Amino acid sequence: MNLLSVSKLNAYYGDFQALFDVDFHAHPGEVIAIIGANGAGKSTFLNAIAGNVTGRGNSITFAEEAISGLRSWQIVSRGIALVPEGRRLFSSLTVEENLLMGAYANTKDAWPLTHIYETFPQLKLKAKQSALSLSGGEQQMVAIGRALISNPLLLMCDELSLGLAPMVVHDIYETLTTVRERGVTLIIVEQNVRQALAFADRVYCFQEGRVSLTGRAGELKPEDVSRAYFGLAGAA
């Protein structure tokens, strides 16, 4: 049984095609990493699932319901949350208000705020501060907390570690481990291939808008990965 299945997803920015016939699936509780070079279409893929980029002629099924064609605001309440690339915190809102925005759609199942503060104790001390006054790592925690508070079945994270110190990245992955232990399905986009292979059950490698390689994280050969990542020229 798949929680998420995507078949032949094509996505466009105007006339520019960013994704070509992408097939993808995720089982409940699975952790999937998406790797690929800059511009490969990783963020576009996550945004297409979240309804922020509309695909054409595709079918996306989540929890046995078709969600392609739904708007982003309709998709959250189905149980999909995205931590967007670059965090995208609301600059004019406080930390707490940012977190509460994550619970806007489904207040019924939403986590209480205290849960988020137990997960990220630092944030409680800075609850009333403007979100942008925090350090990069703390901002990333707000972005993750804002996604978690909706109590998603599927959590998608786009380049969590970008620009963060190794220690902070380590902490953030530790948090993700507890999230995964609760049975939440995870899709993470990660530039650090070693990190991705170590954390995920399965990996998809994107190249120029197509899936160039997929397999179980432990079974992929490094030379296959680098060919799929950089293209044929890189493998030579």
Ligand X SMILES: Nc1ncnc2c1ncn2[C@@H]1O[C@H](COP(=O)(O)OP(=O)(O)OP(=O)(O)O)[C@@H](O)[C@H]1O
Is residue 42 at the binding interface for ligand X, with CB under 6 A as the rule? yes
Minimum CB distance to other proteins smaller for 72 or for 226: 72
What sign does the CA torsion over 213, 217, 218, 223 have?
A: positive
d(CA 23, CA 58): 10
What distances in angstroms separate CA 151 from CA 92, 103, 188, one per listed residue? 24, 8, 17
Per DSSP, the residues of 7-36 read: EEEEEEETTEEEEEEEEEEE-TT-EEEEEE
Asked if residue 85 binds Mg ion (CB under 5 A), the reply is yes
Distance CA 122, CA 124 (A): 5
Task: Choose the binding region for other proteins from 15-23, 25-33, 48-56, 181-189 (rule: CB under 8 A).
Answer: 48-56
Beta pairing, strands 80-83 & 4-13: unpaired
36 makes contact, choosing from ligand X, Mg ion, other proteins, none, with CB < 5 to 8 Å by partner type, with ligand X
Q: Which of residues 86-145 bind ligand X (CB under 6 A)?
A: none
The answer to the question of residue 43 lying near Mg ion (CB under 5 A) is: yes
Closest to Mg ion by CB, 86 vs 218, is 86
Rounded alpha-carbon distances, angstroms, from residue 4 to 29, 54, 129: 11, 17, 37
Which of the residues 97 through 126 are near other proteins (CB under 8 A)? 97, 100-102, 104-106
The piece of 34-42, 96-104, 166-174, 225-233 that touches ligand X (CB under 6 A) is 34-42
Q: Which residue has the tokens 């977190």?
A: 99
Q: Where does this chain bind Mg ion (CB under 5 A)? A: 43, 85
Q: Where does this chain bind other proteins (CB under 8 A)? A: 50-52, 71-73, 76-77, 81-82, 84, 88, 90-93, 97, 100-102, 104-106, 130, 132, 146, 150
